[in-house]
Amino acid sequence: MAKDTILIVEDEEDIQELVRYTLEREGHVVVAAETGEKGLAAVLGARPALILLDLMLPGLDGKEVCRRLKQQEETRSIPVIMLTARGEEADIVAGLELGADDYITKPFSTKVLAARVGAVLRRTARTVPATQDVIEIDDLTIHPGRHEVTVAGSKVDLSTTEFGILQFLARRPGWVFTRRQIVRGVHGEDHPVLDRSIDVQIATLRRKLGDRGDLVETVRGVGYRFAE
């Protein structure tokens, strides 16, 4: 069965080849670029289903590449997984604030890489047919089948992870969830939990929702909930 096209933007040849081998073995088509500039050009030609983006690139770095991808209508919906060498919280938070969907720290195992790529692709492709699954709260509408959120009729552009968090909380209004429960509900059991990353994504989600951002409430010392 044909798989998706994945773009890897990575300047280290050994890592680029490891990623290519791993993903092609899973049946994916892999396109590679070694600089941020070439990566941006490749996106328009390859139309990838997912981008693996190294943050530490020569010239145009990964954070700037991510920023430009999320600013453009034709590329903002493509999920981005960051590759970061140090795994420092500041790098991860910066990428998530720009709209990246996930991160993998180097060095990584090929099994982890394949699993994380597969999880993001499944979340992106997931559809639910029934209109009964549409969530409507006042002027906020969440349409899982269309992967679409609107506030007062205006579309809100969310990353795959931001959409997943909003849907997870909104389906259980009033329930309080810890950060770990939110991560597992959106990403799965084996995903590492970085408290700061959830806080950043919640803050970005609230900002994008504007006046409806207050529906996502903080429960101090516990986590978050969707207002009843």
Residue 216 sits in a domain of what CATH number?
1.10.10.10
Please check whether residues 98 and 10 belong to one and the same domain.
Answer: yes
Which residues of the chain, if any, have pLDDT below 70? 1-2, 86-88, 125-132, 188-195
Burial class (CB in 10 A: 0-12, 13-18, 19+), 27: exposed
Both structure tokens of 220: 């101090």
161, 162, 167, 173: CA torsion to nearest 10: 130
Please tell me the predicted confidence (pLDDT) of residue 203: 92
Q: How far apart are the first and last CA of the chain?
A: 44
Q: How far does Cα 71 stand from its chain's mean position? A: 15
Please tell me the predicted confidence (pLDDT) of residue 127: 42
* Residue 67 DSSP SS3: helix
Decide if 137 contacts 170 (C-beta within 8 A): yes
Whether the model pTM is above 0.75 = no
Please tell me the predicted confidence (pLDDT) of residue 205: 93
Residue 17 sits in a domain of what CATH number?
3.40.50.2300
Q: What whole-number distance in Å separates Cα of residue 91 and Cα of residue 72?
A: 22
Please check whether residues 76 and 19 belong to one and the same domain.
Answer: yes
Both structure tokens of 171: 């389906």
Among 101, 125, 149, where does a domain finish?
125
Among 125, 158, 187, where does a domain finish?
125
Rounded to the nearest 10 degrees, what angle do helices 62-71 and 89-97 cross at? 20
Among 125, 158, 191, where does a domain finish?
125
Count of structural domains within the chain: 2
Name the residue range of residue 141's domain. Answer: 131-226
Please check whether residues 26 and 52 belong to one and the same domain.
Answer: yes
Please tell me the predicted confidence (pLDDT) of residue 125: 65
Please tell me the predicted confidence (pLDDT) of residue 190: 60
Q: What whole-number distance in Å separates Cα of residue 62 and Cα of residue 55?
A: 4
Please check whether residues 66 and 158 belong to one and the same domain.
Answer: no
Please tell me the predicted confidence (pLDDT) of residue 191: 63
DSSP state of 214: G
Rounded to the nearest 10 degrees, what angle do helices 160-170 and 110-125 cross at? 60
Please check whether residues 44 and 138 belong to one and the same domain.
Answer: no
Both structure tokens of 222: 């516990």
Sheet holding 135-137, edge to edge: 135-137, 140-143, 148-151, 154-156
Please tell me the predicted confidence (pLDDT) of residue 76: 82
Please check whether residues 214 and 114 belong to one and the same domain.
Answer: no
* Residue 95 DSSP SS3: helix
Please check whether residues 27 and 109 belong to one and the same domain.
Answer: yes
Please tell me the predicted confidence (pLDDT) of residue 32: 95
Please tell me the predicted confidence (pLDDT) of residue 120: 84
